[in-house]
Amino acid sequence: MTTEIVPTRAELELYRMTIDLGGDTFQLDLRYAYRDRHWYLDFSDVDGNPVRSGLKCVVNTPLLLAWVQQGRPEGEVLVVDPATDDIPDRDRFGALAPLVYGE
C-alpha cells in the first residue's frame, strides 16, 4: 500500500488545490467552519465540476467510503492522528493530524 500526505494549509480558512490521486487529477477545496469547528473537503474534477462535497474531516475515518460513483479515486483519504480520535481543530489539522491518501 502506498500513501502520500496531502498538503494542507491550516493557516487558511478556505483554499483550493489541484492534486493527482491515483493517476487522476482533482481539485480539492478545504474550508474550516467556525460554527461547528470542523474542516470540510470538497472534490471536483479537473474541470471544476463538483463530484463530492461536504465531507467532514474526522480522524481515522475513511472519507470516500460511501463514494461509489464513477470518477472516484482508487484509494482512500483520511485524517490520521495517532494521539487522539478527536476531530482535528483548526491548528492541529495538517500539522499533527495530516490528510493522507492511500492506495
pLDDT at 35 (0 to 100): 93
Instruction: In whole angstroms, give the CA distance from residue 70 to residue 85.
Output: 31
The percent of residues above 90 in pLDDT, for the chain, comes to 35
Q: Give the strand pairing for 99-102 and 3-6.
A: antiparallel
How confident is the model over 6-34, as a mean pLDDT?
92
Question: pLDDT tens digit string along 41-77?
Answer: 998 988 988 888 999 998 998 888 877 677 778 888 8
Look-up of cell digits 476531530: 87
Q: Give the strand pairing for 50-56 and 76-79.
A: unpaired
